[in-house]
Amino acid sequence: MVLQHTAAQVDCPGWTDVPDVPYYFEPTSEYTTGRTFKRICLGLDELPQGIPVNAKLLWLEGNMIENVTAGSFNHLASCQTIWLQYNRIKKIEIGALTPLTSLTTLKLVNNRLTSLQPGVFFNLNTLRYLELDHNQITMLPANVFSDLPSLVTLNLNDNNLTSLTNEVFTGLPSLKYLYLDSNMLSTLPSGVFQGLHSVLKIFLNENLLTSLPAELFSGLPGLENVN
């Protein structure tokens, strides 16, 4: 059985309002098999309560959520995909994502994040796809992604990054695709990509880079392409 949540009648320019589609999907839901998802606007300003513990996909795109607080995803250890793009998220509290031990995809595109706290991704050992593009992130602390051993794709395009530390991408043994396009990077430290032994492609288009350190891409045996 699929429980339903009726969308609020709010003004969402550019979005399709789908009042009878559930915002979460249980394993047997017809919506999870062979269906094209429409964009939905529920008018939510906080994460909803009462989501079934066996929900696999949480679909909250295009709302007005500002904070992801500790306890928001308690009891959702079976959830595999969370779509939170096109909200107003400014902060993800430490511990908020920790219960999501089966999560493989987290979409946070087009929010208002300016930074990420160390430990924010703790316990997300199964996460493979992390989309943080089109935010306002200005800096990334060292080791911020080190709790993501299964991460394959990290998208940081279209943020406000001006610099990166040598330790920012440590602890990512499975990473294959790193997107850094359309930031404000003017220099890169020579060891910033060290340890990314599985990386295939690194995207650096539309930054302010005029030169690169000679050893920037050394020690990356699988690297196929740098844009």
> Measured between alpha carbons, how far is 6 from 213 in angstroms, rounded to an integer?
54
Q: The pTM is what? A: 0.85
In this structure, of 1-10, 150-159, 169-178, 204-213, the range with the lowest mean pLDDT score is 1-10
Q: C-alpha angle with apex 159: 153 to 160, nearest 5 degrees?
A: 140
Give burial (CB, 10 Å; 0-12/13-18/19+) of 13.
Answer: exposed
- Token readout for 181 is 């396009």
DSSP tag of 19: T
In this structure, of 34-38, 83-87, 101-105, the range with the lowest mean pLDDT score is 34-38
Tens digits of residue pLDDT in 8-65:
333 443 334 444 445 555 444 444 443 434 445 567 888 888 788 888 888 888 889 9
